[in-house]
Amino acid sequence: MARVVNQVRTLRFLAGEMTQAELGEKIGLTRQTIAAIEQGKYSPSLEAAFRIAQVFGKPLEEVFSWEA
């Protein structure tokens, strides 16, 4: 089944093991929502996805991709 996959966990690690709470605070999401995104249980809105990419200084397609 096609789904959105993401590199948020890896990018947090590369950003000095940024915590889920810290990332959530930067973009206005809760820690639990960041956890759900990382687990692939929740696909964020386009706005939230852009904000996450902006935090890590990456283009959107390097953070989120469509896995067919």
Partner 1 sequence: MPFKEKIAWISVVTTILVWGGFFGFMLTTGGKLHGAVYFTGFIAAVIVQTILATGAAIVTAALAPADAGAGSDERDRDIARRAYALAYPVLIGLVFCVAGSVHLGFDRIDMAYAIMGAIVIAEIVHYAAQIAGYRRGN
Which residues contribute to the site for partner 1 (CB under 8 A)?
21, 24, 28-33, 36, 39, 41-45, 48
In the complex, the smallest distance separating the C-beta of residue 27 from partner 1, rounded to whole angstroms, is 9
Least distance CB 8 / partner 1 (angstroms): 14
Q: Report, in Å, the least distance between residue 29 CB and partner 1.
A: 5
Distance CA 8, CA 64 (A): 8
- Estimate to the nearest angstrom the gap between the alpha carbon of 25 and the chain centroid: 13
Which residue, 11 or 29, has its beta carbon nearer to partner 1? 29
Orientation of helix 20-27 relative to helix 46-56, angle to 10°: 120
